[in-house]
Each structure stands twice: as structure tokens, then as C-alpha cells.
Chain A
Amino acid sequence: MSGFTAGVIVFPGSNCDRDAANAWSELGCGEAKLLWHQDKDLQGVDIVIVPGGFSYGDALRAGAIARFAPIMDEVAAFAHDGGLVMGICNGFQIVCEAGLLPGALARNEGLKFACKHVDLRVETTSSPFTCTSEKGALLSIPIAHGEGRYVCDEATHAQLIAEDRILFRYANGNPNGAFDDIAGILGGPNRNVMGMMPHPERAIRAALGSADGAVMFESILATLAQAQV
């Protein structure tokens, strides 16, 4: 099979791992491998996806325990070496807890679990995850989270803005009270790590309510193809 291999980490409680793997293969990006949290080998994958769900039942705090899973040491090393890491929903919480992205995710301001389609504005296309989109484009992407309120201190916020590392903001309403409407951010040595609360893997076909999430997978594919040349 042509294309690239995505590694999707599976924790006890992950429930969007197969959606992420399906999105990768259905969009023609290549093969997707499910990687068990106890493993210590990324099996040479081209990109790591830390998927959504409720790892360890969200005990203590969302993502707090998953970040100590053995495979997360490999994910951290991969990220530090410039490997692409995509953290979606619980995956965003996990990569923040692991220190791969700054900030943290607190409980939604309204204390309600938010489950609906929201509009995201693409704030930067200077990233492996949005390079084929357009700055300012609005994407309709579903959210499903209870602890999605992005928080960080003022210095981190200033740095995110100065370095153009805010990937998405909520447009037409902020569903969780996130600081500065932040829905997704970038980090890593080469802008190679991203985290977002909404679920692009659930928006890859019109039949799912939106195909707007596909642009992220197309961007990743274009980035990996470019790196291979």
C-alpha cells in the first residue's frame, strides 16, 4: 500500500482510536496501526495520533494518568525529534499533561458536556496540519468534551501569539469558555505537535455532517510527501 503509516495510540478508555485510523485510511493517506499504550515501540510510523476518549476513565484529571503510559516516552522522543504528533480531544489533554504543549484543559465553563458541531477559524496555515487550508477559513467540526476549557498563563499566551502558534479559534461562539477562544495550538521544535479539542476525524464525509476535517489529513499528507522528496 502506498502512502504513509499513522500510529494511533490506544489507551484503556480511548473511544476515537478507530475513527482516527479509519479517517487516515479512508482519505487515502495510507495504513493506520493501532499502538497499545503498554508498548515501547512506535513501529516506525510516520505520524502519531493521540486520539480522543476517556483514558483511565478521566480519573484524577483528564489525561493525567495516560501521560505516564510507557508508550508516551516514545511519543515524547518522536515529538522532540520533529515527528508529527496530533492530539485530538483527550489526546490534547494528554499531550498537554505530558508537557509536549503548554497550558492545560479545565472543566467547561458551563459544567455541561458539550456535544455539537462548532465553527473553527483557521488561524495559521504555517503548520503541517493546516498547510493546504486557508487562513481565516471556517471549518465545521464536532466537539464532544466536558473538560475542554483551554487555560494558560499570560506569558504563555503572549508567546503563542508572538510565535503564531494558535492553530484554531472557536468562531461564532465559545462552547467551553476557553481562554481567548483557543480551540487548538501548535508546539514542538518544528511546529510538529498539535492539540485540539474538536474532532476532525469525525468530519471527513458529508454523510457525517461535514467533510471539513479532511483538510487536516490532506495537509499532513502533503507535508509528509514534501519531506520525502
Chain B
Amino acid sequence: MPKVTVTVTLKPALLDAQGRTIQEALHSLGYTDVANVRVGKVIELETANPADVTAMCEKLLANPVMESYKIEVDG
């Protein structure tokens, strides 16, 4: 069955509190040119119907009010 990778992140307009914390940690390690760190979730699944994954994202995997998602199908 095709393998699908869904990446869910907070929408760019929203403060990503985890991303900000990690960015500050990187800065304190000396990587001061790092910007726009965003943290997300990666959800891997196998399905015979990859075309359904957009609907799965809209219904459950992401909250479209605050999150965007990216779908990659392999195979």
C-alpha cells in the first residue's frame, strides 16, 4: 500500500511557542543566524486510498483553524 507522510505545523501567522524556545536555545549555542524555527508533527500512514488523506487532514489530523498540513505520497 502507498505510504503517506503528513506534516502538520502551526500556521505561519501563529506564534509557535516551541519553535521560539528552540530558536532561542540554538542562539544560545552560538547559532545566531537561525530564524523562523517551526515545530510540527509527522504522521506516517499506509492506505490504499491516498486521495482520502486530504479529507483525513481536514477532519482529524490537523485543525485547519490553526494548523497547515503537507501531504507526501510514496509509492
Chain A residues within CB distance 8 Å of chain B = 60-61, 64-65, 68, 96-97, 102-104, 106-111, 149, 151-153, 177
Interface presence of B48 (CB below 8 A): no
Q: Specify which of B14, B18, B60 is in contact with A111 (CB 8 Å cutoff).
A: B18
In the bound complex, residues from chain B placing their C-beta under 8 Å from that of A110 are 17
**Total A-B contacts with CB atoms under 8 angstroms apart:** 36
Minimum CB–CB distance for B23 against chain A, Å: 13
A109 touches B61 (CB 8 A): no
Interface range, B side: 10 to 19
Q: Specify which of A65, A108, A151 is in contact with B14 (CB 8 Å cutoff).
A: A151
B10 touches A106 (CB 8 A): yes
Minimum CB–CB distance for B11 against chain A, Å: 9
Q: Which residues of B from 33 to 75 have beta carbons under 8 Å from A?
A: 41, 60-61, 63, 65-66
Beyond A111-B17, A151-B14, list 14 extra A-B contacts (CB 8 Å): A60-B41, A65-B60, A103-B65, A104-B65, A106-B10, A106-B17, A106-B66, A108-B17, A109-B15, A109-B17, A151-B65, A151-B66, A152-B65, A177-B17
- Considering only CB atoms, which chain A residue lies closest to B43 in the complex? A60
A-B contact pairs, 28 of them (CB 8 A): A60-B60, A60-B61, A61-B63, A64-B60, A64-B63, A68-B60, A97-B63, A102-B65, A103-B65, A104-B63, A104-B66, A106-B10, A106-B14, A106-B17, A106-B66, A107-B17, A109-B15, A109-B17, A110-B17, A111-B17, A111-B18, A111-B21, A149-B17, A151-B14, A151-B65, A151-B66, A153-B65, A177-B17
